[in-house]
Amino acid sequence: MFCICGSQRYSIHNVVLSLGALWLDLHIHYAFFNFERIQIFTETLRSYLHESQTPMRFSTGLRFVRSVGDIRSLPAMKMHDILKRCDPFRKQVELNSFLERQRDSEEFSLLKHWLCTPPQYTTLRVNTLATSVSEAKGRLQEHIDKCSRREHMAYTVTKHPQLDDTLVVVSSQNRTQLEPCGRQVIVALECGEAVLRGANVFVPGVMGAPGNLQKGDMVAVYVDVDNKCCKGDKRHYQGEKVFIGNGMARVSRDDIFKNGVIHGTAIDVTQPAYNCPPLNNVLRDILFLQNIPSIVCSRVLDPQPGETVLDMCSAPGGKTAHIATLMRNQGTVVALDKASARLKKTIENCALWNLNVVQCFVHDATMPFNTNANLQQLPLKFDRIMLDAPCSALGQRPRLQYRQSLNEVLSYPNVQRALLTRACELVKSDGVIVYSTCSINCAENEDVIAWALTNLPLELAQQQPHLGGFGRSVDGLSEADCRLLQSFEGRHDGEDFDRDTIGFFIAKLRRK
């Protein structure tokens, strides 16, 4: 509590309001106010009063305001400094220690920062059965130039030099500083992570907003990293949060929390903290948003027209569709997933691209086909098998907070080994299995492969293309083995689009 006018006592909130009046007297326009700067100002004021240890009267307050000067002179927020404070494993101490033992301390510290930041490149795969890559490139560039509402941002679409069906969207600018501008809106963790990768804020992601927020208001978007903001909160949220961009409200607070609006865009993010373009659902008949390692996976599998291919854990269908496209829609692709809701995405994505060689079935791929009546007519053996295994997703970016415990993470290798055993039973002699995860955990990656080489009739094969790094050294793998593995992790932001991507692991195995 402070005393600012005579003996009358004020709360922090009232101090801020009083200082607002003083700023107006000094001809500082109120449009430059935002809650983040007010917080900085009040903290400075708190320190001033603590040091002087005297009540602050009006004249003293006026001198203080003049000494601090225009609120616009306060420093802009450096985005990398903000995200450096994030630690995705700060709530999972045991998991943090487990992963740190796989690397040296400096490497692990850099890795954690890398996981908190989004890739600076956006990649899309082209439906080469429906259009040429050049035509898709032109249409995407035209769409971005016409529709992007991002301020002072220009995006260039280029062809990937090695993946001939892949486009890369590069930002011409890297926003290193950004000032919160407008009223605070709090979004859920998953929503915030999506915004960092280029999405706008959709209605379900909004957790808290000012009581009189109206359509058209400028807002500063913060992500609640601790998941503690109550849905519908109208107070100025004081929990742990990270500023991720500015934007304009497309709906009012009442629309979100009272009038039953449950779909659509809530906030157009016009000034994102990171410069990824909003491309969700753009030109879906010819383009599919997909990370570089996932595209590489299907290329490494190298399916050929007329072959019989199995995708054991197919949802949401990106790799399934890519496999069928590489096969020129000729042959048979069997797509399995044990979750019917997730399998619907595979069906939708394949139907959108008219991939009629794909057959989708709800099935737990660890179980024999004869346990499911719908699978009785399927081939007994396959030429190639894609096993994008269920995993801890420890390589997904950005990840501001990881929620799974160490025990949950340690449960995945058992499932992965069971799936790999089943894949070995289903693949033809001399057939190919591609095993992959979006994890940076050796226990799910190199350790699983070391186990497979010892216990199953499998051998490692050369990968093409090989755009990532090599595997880590673990018991059971030789140096030559590690060089046959492909790993994407922990590269510096913006190094290049093959390295500044998500964490991922790929192994190509051949049946003896």
Which of 86, 156, 145, 163 minimizes the C-alpha distance to 118? Answer: 86
Between strands 201-202 and 265-272, the pairing is antiparallel
- Residue bearing the bigger pLDDT, 13 or 51: 13
- What was the pLDDT predicted at 497? 82
For residue 357, what pLDDT band results from cuts at 50, 70 and 90?
very high
Residue 48 has pLDDT above 80, yes or no: no
**pLDDT score at 6:** 38
pLDDT of residue 154: 82
Mean pLDDT computed over 210-237: 93
Residue 337, annotated as binding a ligand: yes
* 76/106: higher pLDDT: 106
What's the pTM? 0.83
Q: Which fold has domain 177-272?
A: 2.30.130
**C-beta of residue 59 within 8 angstroms of C-beta of residue 4:** no
Binned at pLDDT 50, 70 and 90, residue 204 comes out as: very high
Cα→Cα distances 33→16, 41, 72, 489, Å: 11, 11, 9, 40
Q: Is 3 marked as binding a ligand?
A: no
- Cα–Cα distance list, 497 to 12, 289, 316, 368 (Å): 47, 14, 23, 40
Q: Is the pLDDT of residue 491 over 90?
A: no
Per-residue pLDDT, 293? 98
Distance CA 429, CA 410 (A): 32
Q: Give catalytic residue positions.
A: 438
Closest to 131 in 3D by CA, of 165, 101, 81, 173: 165
Identify the residue with better confidence: 33 or 257.
257
Q: Would you list the domain boundaries of the chain?
A: 2-73, 177-272, 292-511
- The CATH number of domain 292-511 is 3.40.50.150: yes
* 388 in a known ligand binding site: yes
For residue 2, list its beta bridge partners: 10
What is the three-class DSSP state of 408? Answer: helix
Q: DSSP readout, 21-68?
A: HHHHHTT--GGG--HHHHHHHHHHHHHHHHHH-S---HHHHHHHHHHH
Residue 75 has pLDDT above 80, yes or no: no
Buried b (16+ CB within 10 A) or exposed e, 417-446: bebbebbbebbbeebbbbbbbbbbbbbbbb
Q: Is the pLDDT of residue 29 over 50?
A: no
More confident call, 293 vs 70? 293
pLDDT band at 263 (very low <50, low <70, confident <90, very high): confident
Q: How far apart are the first and last CA of the chain?
A: 76
pLDDT of 436: 99
487 known ligand binder: no
Range 317-337 average pLDDT? 98
Q: 317: annotated binding-site residue?
A: yes
Q: For residues 23 and 71, is the Cβ–Cβ distance under 8 A?
A: yes
Task: Calculate the CA dihedral of residues 246, 250, 253, 255 and round it to 10 degrees.
Answer: -160
Q: Where are the alpha helices (DSSP H) in 370-427?
A: 406-410, 412-426
Q: Is 398 annotated as a binding residue?
A: no
- Residue 389's closest CA among 349, 432, 448? 448
The annotation status of 70 as a binding-site residue, yes or no, is no
Q: Is 5 assigned a ligand-binding role in the annotation?
A: no
Q: What is the mean pLDDT of the chain?
A: 85
Distance CA 387, CA 326 (A): 17
Degrees to nearest 5, angle at CA 203 with 201 and 209:
85
Is 402's pLDDT higher than 50?
Answer: yes
Average pLDDT over residues 344-368: 97
User: Which residues have C-beta within 8 Å of that of residue 274, sequence separation ≥ 6?
Assistant: 79, 117, 118, 120, 175, 196, 197, 198
- Sorting pLDDT into bands at 50, 70 and 90, what band is 82? low
Kindly tell me the sign of the dihedral angle through the C-alpha atoms of 140, 145, 149, 155.
positive
- Give CA 359 to chain center in angstroms: 29
**Res 179: pLDDT:** 85
Q: Please check whether residue 352 is in contact with residue 285, taking contact to mean a CB–CB distance below 8 angstroms.
A: yes
Q: Is 364 annotated as a binding residue?
A: yes
Please check if 481 is assigned to a binding site: no
Rounded Cα gap, residues 153 and 171, in angstroms: 7
User: Across residues 47-53, what is the average pLDDT?
Assistant: 42
User: Is residue 71 scored above 50 in pLDDT?
Assistant: no
